[in-house]
Amino acid sequence: MRLKKVLTLVTSMAIATSMLVGCSNKTNEAPNEVPSQNKKIKIGLVTDTAGINDQSFNQSAWEGLKAVQKDLGKDNIEIKYLESKQDADYVTNIETFYDEGQDLIIGAGFNLADSIKNAAQNYPEQKFAIVDYSYGDGQLDNIKSILFNDQEAAYLVGVIAANMSKTDKVGFIGGKKSDVIGRFEYGYKGGFKSIKPNGEVLVQYADSFTDSAKGKAIANQMHKDGADVIFTAGGDVGTGAIEAAKESGKYAIGVDRDQSNLAPESVITSSMKRVDNAVYNVVKELKEGTYKSGDTVIYGLKDDGVGIANTTDKLVDTKIIEEVNSIRDKIVKGEIIVPSNEDEYNEIFNK
């Protein structure tokens, strides 16, 4: 009788194991083991709640995937995205991609940090990448983190804002408070204050990355308060701020990608974050067999990971651009220290 129970238990376990293997469609590749170069690789992008057409961060990531697929061929790379309408969708979308057997699952933005980490713990053989977040000492072997020195590009557009402002008062609108958006804020304020030490930067957060109406309302109020240039780092919140600038005859500064197309006579420049290039590089490395996981890669001015839009010269005088280029070189050489948070900003500008 006892032997029969043992045999039944073993048989049940074998069936369960077989079912799990069959459902997952995954191989037992280690996190840094790359697919065969003859195999088509599958890449899944999970957006944050701003969606794939946010004119900013998510859209740039998708453009990077489309570019690498175009360059390396559809026979070699299959790409797909899933939009997250709410935070609860992060887990569902990641699970969907895992079940589909994606070779690499990319999370677009720091809001996915917990969901990516939990999935990475549950599926140690699955490769993950996350943009705009690093786990520090808690970085898992199957997660690659991609960061940007956002403050460096923000500093440059702050210099432009100071030179273009006629009121010596400008604005910054953030999405949700975080270390990432803080880098934009304090870099921008630093660049502005380096030119106009007695000028004023109005700051307000929308507590959203999707509410364009709120972005427009905040921008309109800042315009009434005297700000004639506003930089927004807040996904679709920024499209509302740009619309306000267009209607009010004021200036706006775009973020993440060149947003001059949204209002060619109002967007004087954009603080570029080359999410597209970073995603492109990760996928290319995976296909070519040089991919490494469990680390953090940081893009800055020195490697063109951040910068200002090529269209800046359409509304900004050549002399200002020359000044900005000189400052850029000094930042790269370490001659100018750019603040990335409040403490660093206060140490530099409030001595």
In 3D, which of 93, 89, 183 has the Cα closest to residue 133? 183
Task: Give the separation between CA 185 and CA 195, rounded to whole angstroms.
Answer: 16
The CA distance from 64 to 70, in Å, is: 10
pLDDT averages per 10-residue partition of the chain, 351 residues: 36 39 46 66 96 88 97 96 96 98 96 97 98 95 97 98 98 96 98 98 96 98 98 95 98 96 97 95 96 95 95 98 98 97 95 68
The CA distance from 315 to 164, in Å, is: 10
pLDDT 10s digits, 281-335: 999 999 999 999 999 999 999 999 999 999 999 999 999 999 999 999 999 999 9
Looking at residue 297, its pLDDT comes to 96
The kind and range of the H/E element at 170 are strand 169-174
Run of H or E including 222: helix 212-224
Among 103, 215, 110, 229, residue whose Cα is nearest residue 160: 229
**What's residue 54's pLDDT?**
84
Position 33 scores a pLDDT of 63
Class of 31-148+276-301 in CATH: alpha beta
- Residue in this structure with the two tokens 């697929």, named with its chain if needed: 69
CATH code for the structural domain at 150-272+317-349: 3.40.50.2300
**Where in the chain are all domains bearing CATH 3.40.50.2300?**
31-148+276-301, 150-272+317-349
Residues 236-272: pLDDT tens digits?
A: 999 999 999 999 999 999 999 999 999 999 999 999 9
- What is the rounded CA–CA span in Å between residue 107 and residue 322? 37
Using CA of residue 121, residue 123, residue 128, residue 131, what is the dihedral sign?
negative
pTM assigned to the model: 0.84
pLDDT of amino acid 23: 42
Specify the pLDDT at position 57: 87
What is the reported pLDDT for 20? 38
- Rounded to the nearest 5 degrees, what angle is found at the Cα of 254, between the Cα atoms of 279 and 233? 75
Six-digit token string for 3: 């032997």
Tell me the C-alpha distance between 259 and 265, whole Å.
11
Residue found under tokens 């890669």: 297
pLDDT digits (tens, 9 = 90+) for 215-227: 999 999 999 999 9
Backbone angles phi, psi at 290, to 5 degrees: -110, 10
Query: Rounded to the nearest 5°, which phi and psi values hold at 10?
Result: -60, -45
Cα-Cα-Cα-Cα dihedral sign, residues 211, 213, 216, 222: negative
